[in-house]
Structure 1
Amino acid sequence: MLFLIFQVSAETTFSDLKGKWIFTEGDVNLELIFQSENKLIFDGEAANYSLAPGIIRVQDEYYIIDYPFVLEGKTMTITFPEGYQLIFTRAENNAGNSSAKETENLGNDSVQNTFSRTSGEEYLLQGKLCNWSGSSGSSSSYSTTRWIYFDGQGNFQDGSETSFSSNDGLYGGNEQGNSGTYRVSGNYIYLNYNDGSTIRANVYFRQDDNSISEIEYDGDIYGKTICD
Structure 2
Amino acid sequence: MKISLLSAVLLFVAVFFSSVDTFANKSVAGSQGHVKNSAIVGSYNCTMSLMGWPVNQGIITFDASGKVSISGNEFEYVINGKNNLSLRDISGSYNYEYSIDGDKLVMNYSDGTVFSCQKKNNIAPGRSVPQTPNSESSRSAGGEYSNQTNWQLQGSFCTWSGSSGGGSSYSSSKNITFDGRGAWQMTSSSAYSGGGLAYQSSPVNSGSYRVQGQMIYYTTSSGEQGTARVNMQQSDGRITEIYIGGELYSPSLCQ
Task: Identify unmatched segments of 5+ residues in structure 2.
Answer: 13-24, 49-53, 131-143, 163-171, 190-201
Equivalent residue, structure 1, for 2:87: 58
Aligned-partner Cα distance in 2 for 1:95–1:218: 38
Structure with more contact order per residue of length (Cα contacts < 8 Å, sep ≥ 6): 2
Partner in structure 1 of residue 252 of structure 2: 225
1-structure distance, mates of 2:58, 2:105: 13
Q: Find 1:215's aligned residue among 242, 246, 250.
A: 242
- Pick the structure with more strand per residue: 1
Q: Any conservation in 1 of the 2:86–2:93 contact (CA below 8 Å)?
A: no
TM-align CA RMSD = 5.1
The answer as to 2:149 corresponding to 1:126 is no
Contact 1:35 1:41 in 2 (8 A): no
Retained in 1: the 8 A contact 2:228–2:245?
Answer: no
Task: Decide whether the 8 Å contact of 1:37 with 1:50 is kept in 2.
Answer: no
Deviation at 1:58?
Answer: 3.2
Counterpart residue number, 2:68: 40
How far residue 186 of structure 1 moved from its aligned partner, in angstroms, is: 8.2
Alpha carbons of structure 1 residues 118 and 51: separation in structure 2 relative to 1, 3 Å = farther
2:44 paired residue number: 21
Aligned with residue 70 of structure 1, among 87, 92, 99? 99
Name the residue aligned to 1:164.
none
User: 1:207 & 1:61 partners in 2: Cα distance?
Assistant: 32
Shift of residue 47 of structure 1? 3.1
Change (3 A) 1:222 1:188: same
What TM-score, normalized by structure 2, do the two folds share?
A: 0.49
For residue 125 of structure 2, the aligned residue among 96, 114, 125 is 96
1:83 aligns with 112
Give the Cα–Cα distance (whole angstroms) in 1 for the partners of residues 218 and 178 of structure 2.
10
Is 1:150 equivalent to 2:178 in the alignment? yes
User: What's the TM-score once normalised by structure 1's chain length?
Assistant: 0.53
Distance change >3 Å, CA 121–CA 227, structure 1 → 2? farther
- Gapped regions of structure 1 (runs ≥ 5): 103-116, 135-143, 162-174
Alignment of 1:116-195 (within 5 A): 123=150, 124-131=152-159, 147-159=175-187, 177-182=204-209, 193-194=220-221
- Residues 70 and 76 of structure 1 are in contact (CA less than 8 Å); yes or no, is this contact kept in structure 2? yes
Query: AA paired with 1:83?
Result: G
Inter-partner Cα distance in structure 1 for 2:109 and 2:153: 19
How far apart in 2 are the matches of 1:86 and 1:49?
A: 16
User: Residues 122, 81 of structure 1: CA spacing in aligned structure 2 closer, same or farther, 3 A cutoff?
Assistant: farther
Give, in whole Å, the separation in 2 of the partners of 1:51 and 1:119.
Answer: 35
2:76 match: secondary structure: strand
The structure having more radius of gyration, on CA atoms, is 1
**Aligned-pair CA distance for 1:149:** 0.5
Per-residue CA deviations over 1:65-85 (Å, capped at 9, x if unaligned) read 444333222212233576343
**Take 1:201 and 1:18, find their aligned partners in 2: how far apart are those partners?**
27
Contact in 1 for aligned 2:96/2:109 (Cα 8 Å): yes
Asked whether the 8 Å contact 2:42–2:63 carries over to 1, the reply is yes
AA of the residue aligned to 2:66: N
1:179/1:89 CA distance change after superposition, 3 Å: same
| d(CA) in 2 for partners of 1:188, 1:131 | 19
Relative distance call for 1:184 and 1:133 in structure 2 (3 A) is: same
Report the AA paired with residue 16 of structure 1.
Answer: A
